Amino acid sequence: AQSVTQLGSHVSVSEGALVLLRCNYSSSVPPYLFWYVQYPNQGLQLLLKYTTGATLVKGINGFEAEFKKSETSFHLTKPSAHMSDAAEYFCAVSGSGANSKLTFGKGITLSVRP
Amino acid sequence: SQTIHQWPATLVQPVGSPLSLECTVEGTSNPNLYWYRQAAGRGLQLLFYSVGIGQISSEVPQNLSASRPQDRQFILSSKKLLLSDSGFYLCAWLPLAGGYETQYFGPGTRLLVL
């Protein structure tokens, strides 16, 4: 069984400020972890993923996330927010293997203030 | 390159009417295919997945059904829509090559049942 917790539903930051979106997971098997971004009325776009190896993963648009097994966390960060980062962000977990299912958190809406 | 299409993009249907949403994938063979529903503030819920032609697994009991008549075609249907079927429906595919881990999403269909 697996689950994802994204606390809160909305985060607001100023342009140029640090972005930190939190994600905690629960998984009975070694997890694969993902962050997806969704712009209004669009599908989900993969930002980054952790499968194995280096625990700090870098994604598109300057985002990165660190897998911390001891904390069961996979928080998403970006040093300096841009107006174009305003979107909804989803953290997700799956196991390995082709038939493993992807479980999503409820998502966090990021607003960026000028 | 691989692409995923969904249509229609937007649909407004009366309660009790039938539904057919289509998803097609190009540039790949034998992908796993998924239907998700996204309701406001509730994240993404996996409805159905398919590992091959004619093979459908249902994740939650509901008013909807799915079919996979061809390798790269996945259809979501209903005989009689309910108000609660409103939402944003996303199709996703999992390439069965490489690490088997990343699902890629289509642009989605916005369904409003009145």
Place of tokens 């229609």: B8
What is the average pLDDT score of chain A?
Answer: 93
Give the single-character DSSP code of A97. Answer: S
Q: Which residues of A touch B108 (CB under 8 A)?
A: 41-43
> Could you read off the pLDDT of B85-96 as tens digits, one per residue?
999 999 999 876
Whether B105 contacts B5, CB under 8 Å: no
- Nearest CB to B101; choose among A36, A94, A103: A94
A9-64 pLDDT, tens digit per residue, is: 999 999 999 999 999 999 888 899 999 999 988 899 999 999 888 999 999 999 99
Q: Is A26 on the interface with B (CB under 8 A)?
A: no
